[in-house]
Chains A and B, each alone.
Chain A
Amino acid sequence: MTQTLIPAPPASETRPAPRRRFRIGGARVMHFYTWLLIAWLALPILVMILFGFNNPSGRYNQTWQGPPTLKWYRDLFALPDLTDALIASLVVAVISSLVSGALGTGIGYALGRYRFRGAGATNLVMFAAISSPELVMGASLLTLFVSMGVGPGWTTLTIAHVMFSIAFVATVVRARVVTLDRSIEEAAADLGANAWTTFWKVTFPILLPAIFSGVMLAFALSIDDFVISNFTAGNVQTFPLWIWGSTRVGLPPQVNVMGTLIFAVGVLIAVIANLRSRPRKQQD
């Protein structure tokens, strides 16, 4: 409004201000709607947080019985099974994200940097691994282990988690390798660095943030995985598997507390990572 009232300075008369004419009507409605959808997405999360403070009388923690209590936060580790399940999830996630990080980085770097025979087949397998239903991947791994006579457990669980993370890590790394400015490496070579030194002193540090986000993605995929774990874990209980098993007998409020804490830590890490990466983005 004010802009139309104040006469524009002469300099800008020759160059009209950029018009954003593709702003079609209904923006306010869409803005309101966006917030409505975000509220809907947050609703179950609020329920999870709320019922961590619930004071249920029976086994089932699904009706609100006040007054709010902190006792489940105090007794967070009172259920040994649940604590073990959380530890199992963390152990598998750490191992599988590191292994798939190393294996995926190799594939991602090769696909981004070199043209080679078999690149197409590698791409195809990666695409299939990303788009196959988890149910089928988990089930087929079970058939392999059954026909080999291998009982499912820690090893098979970790093997499966590495398998479904590799393609995601490789995709993230490849995206960064493709945008890599080759002249920096050439400059290093001009200054007398050999291929090995150039890679470790120049290329690798540039790729490190992408490798790190690939590993973080693998970690997040692993810790949340239920479907593939359900087929390959055997008697090992991870956090999602334990929750699944306990739904039949009533969910203890500690699950809500742990869910809330994982949520809080995850959001915190994401916010910090985003704040740290901001100055770098502005330079690009």
Chain B
Amino acid sequence: MNRVKRALAPYLLVLPGGLWLLLFFVVPMATMLSLSLQEGDIVNGYVFTGHWQTYVEAISDYQTQLIRSLVYGAITSVILIVLAFPVAYWIAFYGGKKKAIYLFLILLPFFVSFVLRTISWRMLLTDDGVLLHPLKEAGLLSSGFHLLGTPTAVIGGLVYNFLPFMVLPIYVALERIDPRVVEAARDLYASPATAFRKVIFPLALPGVFAGVLMTFVPASSDYVNSELLGGTSTTMIGQVIQSKFLHTSDYPTASALAFSLMAVLLLGVFAYARALGTEDVMKVAAR
């Protein structure tokens, strides 16, 4: 009896949460996939017809926004690697007893609502805001100079909002490096630059990959930054999907776009997971 109980224990523990995830994560994905292959409208209802042409039409209609989103996401991730690596490096190797304080300061934006801190950025970047107005008054910038509504503002906002997600995983990877490994390289006459290139950087790579995963996916599917900081020339696919779902109720097209976006992103994610394992990402994600 006891043995049966023990064998059943993990299933009883997993069941409630697993059922919740099945019903409200897996089933909705299937519903969305099915809806993207249906025809009809919100008034008369939808019928499953396997109408895959919706995908063709949706992607050809919105390929600009789709590609722009992936490009913005990729640019954001690359900028983030360049910005975050030195910070993660400095905290991991020179932070000493104050490591926790530095990491806390990096995480500070998370104590302000995502939407609210993006609005604060808009207030900074707006033409008569505290950043540009004084510069224009002083004649350092021409009055025709704008930041709001440009790709710079949107990508800047994405970089700002996702920076901690790049610093943390790189920091975790660097922190785990055994100092003796680096010392061994130096004892074998590697110059500091060579030791960095051949020892430290390769060991930090899983962290970089985890960071790319945690920034590229949310950045390319974001619509808050592009809505609040961008203009008509910076529309991202998230805005299209959001407006098709919530304003025009064109569910099949919206589903097809959302599914295409996720397919592109998850392909990358699972390729990563197969190559490097999910443990690192999960650890970092749960911090």
Closest to B84 in A: A37
Instruction: Say if the beta carbon of A34 comes within 8 Å of chain B.
Output: yes
Stretch of A2-10, A113-121, A184-192 with 4 or more beta carbons under 8 angstroms from chain B: A113-121
A104-133 interface bits toward B, Cβ cutoff 8 Å, 1 = contact, 0 = none: 101101110110101100110111111111
What residue of chain B has the Cβ atom nearest to residue A145's Cβ? B28
How far is A116 from B32 in the complex, measured between Cα atoms in Å?
A: 31
Cβ contacts under 8 Å, B261 to chain A: 133, 135-136
Q: Which one of A18-26, A75-83, A200-208 is at the interface?
A: A18-26
Do A37 and B87 contact each other (CB < 8 Å), given the known contacts A44-B109, A135-B238? Answer: yes
Known contacts A130-B282, A139-B245, A243-B116; decide if A162 and B20 are in contact (CB<8 Å). yes
Cβ 8 A contact of B120, one of A48, A135, A163, A270: A48
Query: Contact: B28 with A144, CB < 8 Å?
Result: yes
B68 → chain A closest CB, angstroms: 15
A107 to B14 CA separation, bound complex (whole angstroms): 5
Asked whether, in the complex, the Cβ of A263 is within 8 Å of the Cβ of B112, the reply is: yes
Q: Spot the interface stretch: B49-57, B58-66, B136-144, B178-186.
A: B178-186
A244 touches B286 (CB 8 A): no
Query: What's the count of A-B pairs with C-beta under 8 Å?
Result: 276
Q: A219: CB under 8 A from chain B?
A: no
How far apart are the CA atoms of A34 and B167 in the complex, in Å? Answer: 11
Tell me which residues across on chain A come within 8 A of B155, comparing CB atoms: none
CB <8 Å contact, B89 and A267: no
List B contacts of A62 (CB < 8 A): 122-123, 126, 128-129
Contact of B258 among A30, A41, A128, A140 (CB under 8 A): A140
A8 to chain B, nearest CB (A): 20
A114 with B10, Cβ < 8 A, contacts A21-B183, A44-B117, A144-B28 known: yes
B21 touches A129 (CB 8 A): yes
Also in contact, A171 and B112, with CB within 8 A (given A27-B94, A134-B218):
no
Q: How many residues of A contact B (CB 8 A)?
A: 97
Contacts A40-B160, A62-B129: A133 and B106 contacting too (C-beta < 8 A)? no
Q: CB within 8 Å of A: which of B189-240?
A: 192-193, 195-196, 200, 213-214, 217-218, 220-224, 228, 238
- Tell me the residues in window 15-30 of chain B with beta carbons closer than 8 Å to chain A beta carbons: 15-18, 20-22, 24-29
B interface list, Cβ under 8 A from A: 2, 9-18, 20-22, 24-29, 31-32, 35, 46, 83, 86-87, 89-91, 93-94, 100, 102, 104-106, 108-117, 119-124, 126, 128-130, 133, 160, 163-164, 179, 182-183, 186, 192-193, 195-196, 200, 213-214, 217-218, 220-224, 228, 238, 241-242, 245-246, 251, 254-255, 258-259, 261-262, 265-266, 269, 273, 278, 281-283, 285-286
